[in-house]
């Protein structure tokens, strides 16, 4: 007999654990068809010029794929993380890259769960139809790094506004977002009962902010990722843009972070499948010493192993998504899914390069680009060491080291 379960966090349809096996094949087929219009040469050109893939993002928005998690009453599809996962996996399996817009799917989760009805009415319909881009999430800072409770960006109440001062680093897509969700300190760390107290979340309208207290500086990275550094100098943010209760922001962003981890893991699964398929196809076709290189077990077994690891990681991603959609605790599974999937894609990418010999390094094969893109997920949005630390202390109850 099954225990009764709560409805999905996004108000989407009830998802039983058996739904782990749901494949969303119609969504996958439709996404694959859309992606066929954006072949390798599109991504290579964007990568070379470090240009934002605007046309791809617009096509996804127009088709409604970035609004799958938004409830129908606000103009979205009201589906769950399982469906969103299928969308992102398929994008990456098709050789495309969802990094330019994946945050449009999940950043609004904090607003949906903790924002006021007025805020939801004001923003969610626009986010659902793509007219409002909420795809920037400002947490990381240069001095605090992974230790989020030590962020130094402050928001001080001043009448009808909060005045924000500080600096953020590696905040992606701010140049291509209308809104940003910002984490800032409203009470000094020493004054809270817990280190996580006193952090608050704000909706920052970037269209008003740039030049009026906010400066955005692009950071060029090893892949085309549109990430930036932000400088806040007394930026006025309306008090009405505070999400939920002042000082409770850390807890609010955790839900979004679980969704983010599951969805990034799905992208890694898509990448891994792309690498494995590409490697297996080449191993069958490339003739050296008078036979296909795939006949050599030194080539064949690593590809087979990469496939096995990808399938195993995919099961954990599905489990995490099913738990999330059922409104159950999924912190451990979301973290494990992210780690296993990021490891699977990194390994599959490495093997794909090795299988292709010198051609693996040639730009026109797209492998080196995909490899650079997927490498990021060992570090962001949470690094592998921090996941292991979470599992070691929160899941296995071992002593904390920090």
Ligand X SMILES: Cc1cc2nc3c(=O)[nH]c(=O)nc-3n(C[C@H](O)[C@H](O)[C@H](O)COP(=O)(O)OP(=O)(O)OC[C@H]3O[C@@H](n4cnc5c(N)ncnc54)[C@H](O)[C@@H]3O)c2cc1C
Among 56, 170, 365, 371, binds ligand X (CB under 6 A): 170
**Unique residue bearing structure tokens 């001043």:** 158
In the complex, the smallest distance separating the C-beta of residue 340 from ligand X, rounded to whole angstroms, is 17
Looking at beta carbons only, is 171 or 293 nearer to ligand X? 171
Query: Residues 306, 309, 310, 312: what is their CA dihedral angle, to the nearest 10 degrees?
Result: 160
Phi, psi for residue 122 in degrees, rounded to 5: -70, -35
Which of helix, strand or coil describes residue 28?
helix
Helix (H) or strand (E) holding 154: strand 154-158
If one asks whether residue 139 binds ligand X (CB under 6 A), the answer comes out as yes
If one asks whether residue 222 binds ligand X (CB under 6 A), the answer comes out as no
If one asks whether residue 376 binds ligand X (CB under 6 A), the answer comes out as yes
Q: How far apart are CA 203 and CA 211, in angstroms?
A: 17
If one asks whether residue 235 binds ligand X (CB under 6 A), the answer comes out as no
In the complex, the smallest distance separating the C-beta of residue 239 from ligand X, rounded to whole angstroms, is 23
If one asks whether residue 146 binds ligand X (CB under 6 A), the answer comes out as yes
Among 167, 196, 215, 383, binds ligand X (CB under 6 A): 383
Handedness of CA 179, 73, 17, 1 (dihedral sign): positive
Q: How far apart are CA 256 and CA 263, in angstroms?
A: 10
Among 20, 195, 236, 386, binds ligand X (CB under 6 A): 386
Which residue is nearest to ligand X, using beta carbons?
Answer: 145
If one asks whether residue 292 binds ligand X (CB under 6 A), the answer comes out as no
CB 235 within 8 A of CB 337: no
242, β-bridge pairs: 202
If one asks whether residue 106 binds ligand X (CB under 6 A), the answer comes out as no
In the complex, the smallest distance separating the C-beta of residue 166 from ligand X, rounded to whole angstroms, is 13
If one asks whether residue 289 binds ligand X (CB under 6 A), the answer comes out as no
Interface segment toward ligand X; rule CB under 6 A; list 46-54, 58-66, 134-142, 282-290: 134-142
E-strand ranges in 173-239 read 179-185, 199-205, 214-219, 227-238
If one asks whether residue 187 binds ligand X (CB under 6 A), the answer comes out as no
Phi, psi for residue 253 in degrees, rounded to 5: -80, -15
If one asks whether residue 220 binds ligand X (CB under 6 A), the answer comes out as no
Interface segment toward ligand X; rule CB under 6 A; list 88-96, 115-123, 200-208, 374-382: 374-382
Q: Among residues 250, 224, 259, 223, which one has the least CA distance to residue 338?
A: 259
Interface segment toward ligand X; rule CB under 6 A; list 66-74, 133-141, 230-238, 320-328: 133-141
In the complex, the smallest distance separating the C-beta of residue 143 from ligand X, rounded to whole angstroms, is 9
Which of helix, strand or coil describes residue 116?
coil
If one asks whether residue 268 binds ligand X (CB under 6 A), the answer comes out as no
CB 238 within 8 A of CB 161: yes
Among 10, 74, 137, 377, binds ligand X (CB under 6 A): 137
E-strand ranges in 189-323 read 199-205, 214-219, 227-238, 242-243, 287-288, 291-292
Looking at beta carbons only, is 262 or 280 nearer to ligand X? 262
Q: For residue 370, what are its two tokens?
A: 């995909």
Enter the DSSP assignment of 237: E
Residues that bind ligand X (CB under 6 A): 137-140, 145-146, 170-172, 221, 225, 227, 376, 379-383, 385-386, 389, 402
């Amino acid at each position: 007999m099954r225990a009764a379960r709560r409805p999905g966090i996004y108000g989407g349809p009830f998802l039983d654990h058996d739904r782990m096996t749901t494949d969303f094949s119609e969504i996958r087929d439709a996404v694959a068809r859309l992606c066929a219009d954006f072949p390798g040469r599109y991504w290579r050109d964007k990568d070379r010029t470090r240009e934002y893939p605007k046309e791809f993002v617009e096509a996804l928005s127009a088709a409604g794929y970035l609004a799958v998690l938004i409830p129908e009453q606000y103009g979205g599809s009201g589906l769950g993380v399982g469906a969103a996962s299928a969308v992102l996996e398929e994008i990456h399996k098709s050789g495309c890259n969802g990094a330019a817009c994946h945050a449009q799917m999940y950043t609004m989760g904090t607003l949906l769960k903790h924002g006021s009805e007025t805020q939801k009415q004001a923003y969610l319909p626009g986010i659902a139809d793509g007219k409002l881009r909420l795809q920037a999430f400002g947490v990381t800072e240069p001095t605090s790094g992974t230790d989020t409770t030590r962020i130094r960006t402050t928001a001080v109440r001043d009448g009808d506004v909060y005045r924000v001062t500080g600096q953020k680093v590696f905040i992606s897509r701010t140049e291509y977002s209308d809104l940003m969700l910002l984490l800032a300190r409203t009470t000094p760390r020493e004054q809270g009962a817990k280190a996580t107290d006193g952090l608050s979340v704000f909706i920052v309208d970037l269209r008003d902010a740039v030049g009026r207290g906010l400066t955005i500086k692009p950071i060029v990275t090893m892949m085309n990722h549109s990430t930036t550094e932000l400088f806040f100098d007394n930026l006025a943010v309306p008090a009405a843009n505070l999400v939920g209760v002042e000082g409770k922001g850390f807890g609010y962003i955790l839900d979004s972070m679980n969704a983010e981890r599951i969805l990034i893991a799905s992208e890694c699964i898509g990448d891994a499948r792309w690498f494995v398929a590409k490697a297996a196809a080449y191993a069958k076709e490339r003739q050296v010493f008078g036979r296909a290189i795939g006949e050599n077990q030194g080539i064949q077994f690593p590809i087979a192993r990469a496939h096995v690891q990808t399938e195993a990681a995919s099961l954990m991603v599905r489990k995490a998504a099913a738990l999330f959609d059922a409104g159950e605790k999924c912190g451990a599974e979301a973290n494990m899914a992210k780690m296993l999937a990021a490891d699977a894609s990194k390994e599959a990418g490495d093997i794909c390069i090795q299988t292709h010999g010198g051609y693996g390094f040639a730009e026109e094969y797209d492998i080196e680009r995909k490899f650079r893109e997927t490498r990021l997920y060992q570090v962001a949005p949470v690094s592998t060491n921090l996941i292991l630390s979470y599992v070691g202390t929160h899941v296995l109850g071992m002593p904390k080291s920090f």
